Structure formats: C-alpha cells, structure tokens
Amino acid sequence: GVVVLGLNRSHAKNALNKNLLKMMSKAVDALKSDKKVRTVIFRSEVPGIFCAGADLKERVKMHSSEVSSFVSKARATINEMANLPVPTIAAIDGTALGGGLELALACDIRVAASSAKMGLVETKLAIIPGAGGTQRLPRTIGVSLAKELIFSARIVDGEEAKSIGLISHVVEQNEAGDAAYRRALALAREFLPQGPVAMRVAKLAINQGMEVDLATGLAIEEACYAQTIPTKDRIEGLLAFKEKRPPRYKGE
C-alpha cells in the first residue's frame, strides 16, 4: 500500500526540467485512481540532495513565453501532487531549495534529516516562488515568518525547520544517508492499518476545511462523514472493535 516515488536526476541535483516534470505528472496521474495505494512517499535517490529547484541551465535558454509555460507546468504538477487523495510524505534527506521545497510543501507531512537544507531562495534571482511557495509556506509556518524567509532567501537546516513548524519530524542522518526516508516509511506503516476510505475522506475534509470559516468547515466535515457511513470499511472497523481484534480492511 505504500508507493515510493524517487527522484533520480543525479547529474543535475534533481533539478526540475521539462522532462522530469512530465514524468512526475505521469506518475502522479497513475496514482490518483489506484485504490491499492494507501500512502505516497516522495524521496530522492541522489545522496545529499532532495531537489535543487528548477533547472536554471535549461531555463536560461528559454524564451520568455516558454518560461511562463514551464512555471505553469511546475505549478500544475505540484498541485496534482497536493491533490492526491491519499496521505503524502516528503522524505528530505538532503538539500531542498526553491521548487524542491515547494514540492515538499505540497505533501501532507514532511520529514527531514537534521543536516538537510531548505529554503525558498528565488528572490536572490529577482523572481518569486512560482509553484505554490508564496501560498503554502504561510499556511504552514505563518504569514510573518514566511515573509521573512522569502524576503531574505534564508536557508534553514532540519533542526530550525522543525522549530518553526516547516517539518513534522527531524532525524539524525545515518551512514546510508536515508534517515528521513526510513522515518517516512515508519509513518506510512502507521497509516496502513486505518480504513482506506476514511483516510481519503479525512484528508479531503481537512484540506477543504482549512480554506473556509469554521461554520463552513463543520458543514464540510458533516458531508465528508456521511461518505463513510455506508462503507464496508466502517462496518469492518466496528466489528473489529466489538470483537477486540485488528480490522482487516480490503479497501474500496
């Protein structure tokens, strides 16, 4: 039930170019309707790097109209990731800058090694984050601090990222360089025993509710809760509780 999507463009530090975005979009699209998928982990196969952001060597060769198209594609692909119906975890075992951090921000949960480096550094290039960073970072760590990090293009390590709420878990890096990935796997395994329909609906209720006032959010919760009432998952969960045994969910 756990799907791992690994970035492996080692010669370019996993920088996002047209081809990589195309492959990411195709992979995410395949996951949307796969009922066997319970959690998705985004990680890097390249030691010391999560994603260095957009491929500036490719971008500098683009016409201005191409740049707009590229940024739109990056934004759309990362939105597709954010809209996956199942929990998503970013395992940040190395550097995540610019679009790399925007990719991680689109995940539900972020885990990072203490040695990892993260930042939205676009203002150094006289541009701004264009793939969701100006919207998701404030929603994650608060408006004032997000402005400070974007205005300064500051890079933080895993410890500071945890202290400001940018990530949920920080771990000491191991010799294999995959400590964050291992922690992400442990989290994913915590999710697996739960009702699959309930997990999808819970994510939907939280995501939609965070964008509206409380009264509307409670109405969204009510509508989402109603979706779980007739499911086989819910019946199995209640039976398991009554019989004092682990539930055996098959998914729907």
Q: What element of type H or E holds 235?
A: helix 232-243
pLDDT, residue 101, reads: 97
Catalytic residue among 15, 100, 106, 122: 122
Q: What element of type H or E holds 112?
A: strand 109-113
CA-to-CA distance for 46 and 151, rounded, in angstroms? 29
Domain 196-243 of CATH type 2.140.10.30: no
pLDDT, residue 68, reads: 85
pLDDT in tens, 8-46: 999 999 999 999 999 999 999 999 989 899 999 999 999
Catalytic residue among 15, 52, 54, 131: 54
Question: What percent of the chain clears pLDDT 70, i.e. is strictly above it?
Answer: 98
- Beta strand 156-157 with 117-119 is antiparallel
CA-to-CA distance for 156 and 167, rounded, in angstroms? 11
Q: Indicate if 102 belongs to the active site.
A: yes
The stretch 73-89 carries a mean pLDDT of 95
Q: Indicate if 126 belongs to the active site.
A: no
Catalytic residue among 102, 131, 133, 158: 102
The stretch 90-105 carries a mean pLDDT of 97
Position 251 confidence tier, pLDDT thresholds 50, 70, 90: low
Q: Are 143 and 216 in contact (CB under 8 A)?
A: no
What tokens were used for 208?
């939609």
Cα-Cα-Cα-Cα dihedral sign, residues 124, 155, 88, 229: negative
The region of weakest confidence among 29-33, 48-52, 59-63, 174-178 is 59-63
Catalytic residue among 99, 100, 130, 132: 99
Helix (H, G, I), strand (E, B) or coil at 22: helix
**Around Cβ 235, how many Cβ atoms within 10 Å?**
12
What tokens were used for 99?
């679009």
- Backbone dihedral region of 39: left (phi > 0), alpha (psi from -120 to 50 degrees) or beta? beta
pLDDT in tens, 61-72: 888 778 888 889
pLDDT, residue 102, reads: 97
To 10 degrees, the CA torsion angle through 133, 136, 138, 140?
A: -130
Question: 2-192 belongs to which CATH class?
Answer: alpha beta
| Location of each CATH 3.90.226.10 domain in the chain | 2-192
Which residues fall within 8 angstroms of residue 242, CB to CB, at 6 or more apart?
A: none
